[in-house]
Chain A
């Protein structure tokens, strides 16, 4: 029998009831499908397919637009891509804007459709059309039109739901991106500053706080000129890259006065829509080291030139044939050459030692050392070079031996005593005192000389640093002695410190572990 004519007798009422039941089921099916869709594309495909099935139609489509945009195809079934692209969206909207429309005999779609029913919707900012078409001559009835209208409402709600879901996802994604960016900015070592178009500080990361000491909560929301001292002085010098050049932004190194200290910052600026981002690094330490190196080169050059000049002068004198020098003068000149050569050699040794004193390659012995004995040797050598207004004494009660490298300890004490002599130009007393403290022995070298300024005391143990770089007091040196001393003492398990008052002298204290402690620990 034909699929369209059930043979069992049915009353019209039963048929109508059955049809309404089937309609309700179809509508529920479509609502189920509509609610299942996770994207507009999926919604369009599922609804179009299901509409073709429900209406026994060959073509179905969903068109929609957002805001004032053009109607676009959300989904279509039964149309070739070229036919989809040519759907007369606005004509369809015009005919169905007021109420669902049924068209027969007019091929509005331009694809040979014999019957068309379409309904429009507007939900939130979205509007659109849902349509179904048949290629055969079976028009749509009122019940089908009503069903399509109901489906259209569901589609409109689904599109609005998907739009909101998209918006939600976008906001979550942006929030996550912002959080991630904040985590990145918060974790990088460079300081980051964002100044908006009005010159207000909008971002100041933890690295910026650490570099400058300026707290984020004090800066944010304030004009940059007011919030960052010295900003106005450097702002004009900074280069701000924009657009494609942003990746190659050039850094400018500028000094920034901050609470009485001078920070040297390397700053790159990039212009963005929200204002200007500055990323900066603290180069203060690097700059100081650079200055120290420069000073060191100058100092060493000077220190080398003085004995070299003496040696050179003596040698030239001895070479002269037009001058007759006596044997005593020859002896003096040769002594001078020997002494200055030794001085040069010692200087070179210091430079070489400074270059490897913190390296494992420099071997440090651990042996039982009688410090008093070493100190006496050093004092004796010091006395030989000291002028007559200086006295150098060992103040020591019997002291236990320390675990150390005898030669390295001698070098340390020699440096300290030599410094005490050099910085006591007016004479006075130099004491080397040994004092047992708990499990250590303290070797205290005390002088009554020039003293060291408080600001220099924390720096004098660093490589190349000289408290009197300009030699205003006529004291020469490479600036390596105390650095070498500190490293040698550290390698022997001890420590070194200084306490000094300008004009009143200095006290250097070297502590070394007593024999039992050191050897047990080893």
Chain B
């Protein structure tokens, strides 16, 4: 993977590790670098959001021993071992891998993304293949705007991946900085193709509806009626008393989706119930758009995890050596108790043996663009796959 035919190309170019506990970040970084077995140029960290962001940034930077650090918190961290509820996953990239880290925090999501992505692409422009990872905040603006800003600079040839930080802290990291707003961009370069796989487990139920009234992310009316009424009716729970907790579960299991012409759908997370019977979504849905109400089940989620990996690996020209995973936190709602870990087992299994260096994070909104221009996603799993060297 990455630079071809270097004298030490037989050595690993990535190393990943996880550590458990509230002070696990430094340990995860150290272990990832140890796994790499050589000087690291960049370490991506994905701590759970129950740690103090500034402490995390300081520990990770210290443990990185001069390597750059970037990453974000999640509601969970992901390693080859599965889901970590409190702890950290880290993946280290050798210093010979073209990488760049940029962070911009001005309050203009589109502009921040444009500037951050522009900076990291400028630093890695000699790499034949690149991917841009975006670490964003779901509360700081429309994620679609961030993707549009990034796409405006990256264009159609450079895939985008990433997501919105999760957990209580919702922090992003760029070296010693722990950011609460703005955009952190990371560019990874390679001499070989980089795969980005995107999948979800959402299946439309019934016929699509038309958005007859909306204001930004507030979907006010479907088919001329209050959106909540239509939503509950389609789910067969109309007339039932649905409290906030019950609604949250419904929203996680039954997202909305925007259908594409080819038959695919793009899920849209329902964040809350709004005034006047509106459904508040994670991103804007325009008036006259078609939307579908979906189901996602443990089976479809598990199936989609494997599909995302297969999609990403298919784009490589060599075996997958490393992967970064952004998995929607809402998907894990099903995977508790007896089902715990099953999605990630399926995901890791899909890479085959031996497992690649892998680190990931449970996100509150995903970014994944390999085709088309849109890349703001919900209820999805996005897998970035990097191949081994020649």
A residues lining the B interface (CB < 8 Å): 1-8, 15, 18-19, 21-23, 25-26, 28-29, 31-33, 49, 52-60, 77-80, 112, 134-136, 138, 143-144, 147
Contact = CB atoms under 8 A, between A and B. Distances in A.
B203 A25 contact: no
Nearest to B259: A22
B300 A3 contact: no
Nearest to A50: B286
Interface stretch (B56-64, B76-84, B366-374): B366-374
Nearest to A23: B261
A80 B198 CA distance: 25
B260 A22 contact: yes
A8 B261 contact: no
A383 B371 CA distance: 121
B330 to A, nearest CB: 16
B157 interface: yes
Given A4-B262, A80-B155, 15 more contacts: A1-B300, A1-B303, A1-B304, A3-B198, A3-B200, A6-B203, A8-B204, A21-B207, A23-B261, A32-B287, A32-B288, A52-B373, A53-B372, A79-B155, A138-B371
A17 to B, nearest CB: 8
Contact of B263 (A4, A29, A31, A147): A4
Given A2-B199, A4-B262, A6-B263, A56 B286 contact: no
Contacts of A77: 151-152, 373
B261 A29 contact: no
29 contacts: A1-B200, A1-B203, A1-B300, A1-B303, A1-B307, A3-B264, A4-B263, A6-B203, A6-B204, A7-B303, A8-B204, A15-B263, A18-B207, A25-B210, A28-B288, A29-B287, A31-B288, A32-B287, A32-B288, A52-B374, A53-B372, A55-B261, A55-B372, A56-B260, A56-B262, A56-B371, A56-B372, A78-B155, A136-B371
Nearest to A79: B155
B300 A26 contact: no
B308 to A, nearest CB: 8
Contact of A143 (B201, B261, B265, B266): B261
B374 A53 contact: yes
B-side interface size class: 35 or more
A22 B261 contact: yes
B115 interface: no
Contacts of B260: 22, 54, 56
B250 interface: no
Contacts of B210: 25, 28
B148 interface: yes
A296 to B, nearest CB: 76
A3 B263 CA distance: 9
Contact of B156 (A22, A29, A59): A59
Contacts of B265: 3, 6
Contact of B208 (A25, A33, A135, A147): A25
A288 B147 CA distance: 80
B261 A18 contact: no
Contacts of A1: 199-201, 203, 300, 303-304, 307
B371 A18 contact: no
A2 B286 CA distance: 25
Nearest to A60: B373
Nearest to A28: B288
Contacts of B137: none
Interface in B181-212: 198-201, 203-204, 207-208, 210
B290 interface: yes
Contact of B372 (A21, A25, A52): A52
Interface of B: 148, 151-152, 155-157, 198-201, 203-204, 207-208, 210, 259-266, 286-290, 300, 303-304, 307, 311, 371-374, 380
Contacts of B259: 18, 22
Given A23-B261, A135-B156, A3 B199 contact: yes
B311 A2 contact: yes
Contacts of B290: 21-22, 25-26
A58 B303 CA distance: 27
Of the listed residues A19, A23, A29, A32, the one surrounded by the most CB atoms of chain B closer than 10 A to its CB is A29
| 4 shortest interchain CB distances as A-B pairs | A58-B156, A52-B373, A25-B290, A56-B372
A25 B207 CA distance: 13
A32 B262 CA distance: 22
B262 to A, nearest CB: 6
A49 B148 contact: yes
A382 B198 CA distance: 122
B307 to A, nearest CB: 4
A144 B373 contact: no
Contacts of A80: 155
Given A18-B208, A49-B373, A4 B264 contact: yes
Nearest to A112: B157
Contacts of B372: 52-53, 55-58
A19 B204 CA distance: 13
Of the listed residues A32, A56, A59, the one surrounded by the most CB atoms of chain B closer than 10 A to its CB is A56
B125 to A, nearest CB: 12
Contact of B289 (A29, A58, A60): A29
A81 B286 CA distance: 28
B286 A32 contact: yes
A359 B371 CA distance: 90
Of the listed residues B262, B264, B303, B307, the one surrounded by the most CB atoms of chain A closer than 10 A to its CB is B262
B371 A58 contact: yes
A8 B148 CA distance: 32
A462 to B, nearest CB: 73
Contacts of A25: 208, 210, 288-290
Contacts of A31: 288
B139 to A, nearest CB: 24
Given A8-B203, A22-B208, A59-B156, A2 B373 contact: no
Contacts of A3: 198-200, 264-266, 304, 380
Contact of A78 (B151, B203, B304): B151
A3 B380 CA distance: 9
A165 B204 CA distance: 43
Contacts of B289: 25, 29
B372 to A, nearest CB: 4
A7 B373 contact: no
A352 to B, nearest CB: 76
Given A1-B304, A29-B289, A135-B157, A56 B148 contact: no
Contacts of B288: 25, 28-29, 31-32
A55 B260 CA distance: 8
Contacts of A56: 260-262, 371-372, 374
A179 to B, nearest CB: 40
A31 B286 CA distance: 12
Contacts of A143: 261
A112 B203 CA distance: 34
Contacts of B208: 18, 21-22, 25
A19 B261 contact: yes
A376 to B, nearest CB: 96
B373 A58 contact: yes
A54 B199 CA distance: 18
Nearest to A33: B286
A430 B290 CA distance: 111
Nearest to A8: B203
A78 B200 CA distance: 25
Nearest to B157: A135
Contacts of A18: 207-208, 259, 263
